[in-house]
Structure 1
């Protein structure tokens, strides 16, 4: 039971420090100014991830033993590197290459030194143990992709917090029940920090998490998802009540929305002849926002979709990846196409119903038109 106190401690620490961070950022004038792809209408403090990570580390310092810290030291070092990278990027925008090198450093600490990696496909498509070079390469690629996909989904008030909270709560409960208490406490500490942050980030937001939060949380979520897959794979030879027979599909469900939204956007950009990493407003949350939904409604819709898929994975945990993965992928693709079609139709309908700019007559234009229609008064000769 003491392990569950991690989420409570992290929550109250985050609840206390976040208002202080908001005041400090406002005084130093480090604000996220609207414009370009940014959809907020006024300058908002960013770098709210400072409060999340501070709550995360403080919660673990109070509840974890020295032996537990020793066991996850490389993961914690990676979290520290990713936090500093995001903080630097929020203060002085880094180049894509600088960000990639920083991410590779953090990931190599976890994958190479901490030995958290995808080592097998556990019978999916008949593939078992992976060669060591492929294991390292695949894990590094996966964590980079998932980290940046989560970073891209942080586009609305409360959205990144909602999606990550669902995953961290699930992981925290599963790790503790399955006997991986250290990783369970890490997931619960993230849950507490995110929950406290959402008090101030829910629409209308008083603070954004920035890259300080989204890169770090995306990294932790990606690493814990990889460990979750490996832990389930190790249980396949055991009769464990918490085992998922489809570890790859179960791990995918934890990052479903951000992962598929990023892939969907990249495919659409390539089809239009644009670079896949070009910035635009074609993410699913942008479409839903233009369809008339508020920030909080979009967060709840996408959070509900993620929660539904997690429930599906739990209820079908006895199926293997060979059955479940094609089913989930097909369902997601169908859902993406349906969502695209519905939201596009709704956006077009709203555009048709909105009056055009040229059709709006200003009072000055009305006066001018009325003046034109008046008959001219001619002076009569004296």
Structure 2
């Protein structure tokens, strides 16, 4: 019951704060204007992450004192640092190197100081306990990948927020079951804040998350997933809700952002572009081209993510060597079908639309056929105006 109050507190504060944030950002003209790769039609305020960060922070401050928060004090500090990195990037764009440096400092706080890291592969790929240096390096890499993978999917109304709700909600319930109260408070605080944000971000969106929100939320989810993987692997074999496929479950929780990042990076590199070159080759762009609306795309992708997570739940007692290939095959097959269907749909749409030259001819014929429109070359013979 107490964790329900944590959630409701964050939701209430977020619901009250978000309209104020929207109003301030609109007056300051801080946001995204339409045009270029943007798919919205009018100016939309960005930096909505301010609202759910404030909501989560206040909820943690109100309820967190009852639990041993010192075990996540470095994580809380790193989340705050990541928030300010995103805030600065939204206000005054950071160089890629400076942005990465800020992320690395936050990652080091979590992995090294907070000791939230992957310490053991538990026999996966024949690897056991990791030495300290490789554990730090690999954990930092994983956290950076998860953070930036989540950041990349923030391109559609409601998509990043819905993904964040799924991950934080499921992890929050699992942390409660295992008695990890401080991590549960963190999970449900962000769940409530993001839920309030989603009311204003659902299509048609009144505000966007911005890097302020996507970097912060992606970082929180990444750190919680790593914590889940280590705590889960350390449970006794007969413990309730212990997932034998630890790595597969962690991947399944963030399957859509990871697949989308791998997909767009591969496509860009094949075209001879840099992996960070912006374009419209994300999964949600393809689904929009197929005629789906924003909310439909969000619900479809959320459903797919839940199906993959449910698969790991069904296979809870099987090892990563079995579960990881299964969920990988599911995702790759769905991705392949998506590409085939999208290309087929676009070709069909192009084939049924008139060509540009045909449109021009029709326009000219239409103008010429209008009553009262008569053009006679003789009318211009004795005209003194030079038309050259």
TM-score range, shorter chain: over 0.9
Gaps of 5+ in 2: 380-388
The aligned counterpart of 2:119 is 119
1:110 maps to which residue? 110
Q: TM-score, normalised by structure 1?
A: 0.94
Q: Cα distance 1:359–1:316, how it changes in 2: closer, same or farther (>3 A)?
A: same
Q: Which residue of 1 aligns with 2:382?
A: none
Residues 102 and 377 of structure 1, relative CA distance in 2, 3 Å threshold: closer
Partner in structure 1 of residue 230 of structure 2? 230
Three-state SS of the structure 2 residue aligned to 1:19 is helix
Unaligned runs of 5+ residues in structure 1 are none
Counterpart in the other structure of 1:243 = 242
Cα distance in structure 2, aligned partners of 1:252 and 1:267: 19
* Deviates most, 153-162 or 67-76: 67-76
CA-CA distance at 1:39 after TM superposition:
1.1
Deviations 1:267-300 (A, max 9, x none): 1112222222211100000000111011100000
Alignment of 1:324-335 (within 5 A): 324-335=323-334
List, as ranges, runs of 4+ consecutive aligned residues in structure 1 with deviation greater than 4 Å: 361-364, 367-371, 373-379
Quick one: distance in 1 between partners of 2:37 and 2:13?
33
Q: Does 1:194 align with 2:198?
A: no
Q: For 1:1-382, list aligned pairs within 5 A.
A: 1-65=1-65, 68-235=68-235, 237-361=236-360, 365-366=364-365, 369-370=368-369
Using the alignment, how far apart are the partners of 1:197 and 1:9 within structure 2? 14
Q: 2:263 & 2:104 partners in 1: Cα distance?
A: 25
The Cα shift of 1:34 comes to 1.4
Structure 1 residue 361: Cα displacement:
4.3
Task: State how far apart, in whole Å, the 1-side matches of 2:178 and 2:66 are.
Answer: 21
Gap change, CA 1:64 and 1:378, over 3 Å in 2: closer
User: Which has the higher mean CA deviation after the structures are superposed, 354-363 or 220-229?
Assistant: 354-363
Question: How far did 1:65 drift?
Answer: 1.3
Cα deviation, residue 328, structure 1: 1.2
SS of aligned partner of 1:65: helix
Per the alignment, residue 385 of structure 2 pairs with: none
Asked if the contact 2:37/2:279 (under 8 Å) is kept, the reply is yes
1:29 and 1:311, CA in 2 relative to 1: closer, same or farther beyond 3 A? same
Instruction: Tell me the TM-score normalised to structure 2 length.
Output: 0.93
Cα deviation, 1:158-185, whole Å, max 9, x if unaligned, reads 0001111111110000110111111111
Shift of 1:351: 2.3
Alpha-carbon distance between aligned partners in 2 of 1:306 and 1:375, rounded to the nearest angstrom: 63
CA contact (8 A) 2:253 2:309 kept: yes
Tell me the secondary structure at the aligned position of residue 80 of structure 2: helix
Contact 1:167 1:254 in 2 (8 A): yes
RMSD (CA atoms): 2.0
Return 99-108 or 260-269, whichever deviates more: 260-269
Tell me, yes or no, if the aligned pair for 1:47 and 1:208 is still in contact at 8 Å.
Answer: yes
CA contact (8 A) 2:50 2:213 kept: yes
The separation in 2 between residues aligned to 1:321 and 1:78, in whole angstroms, is 30
**How big is the shift at 1:262?**
0.5
Q: Is the 8 A contact 1:4 1:185 kept in 2?
A: no
Which whole-Å deviations, capped at 9, do the CAs of 1:91-112 have from their partners, x for residues lacking one? 1111110110000011000000
| Distance (whole Å) between structure 2 residues aligned to residue 377 and residue 197 of structure 1 | 65
Structure 2: how far apart are the matches of 1:348 and 1:364?
A: 25
SS in 1 for 2:358: coil
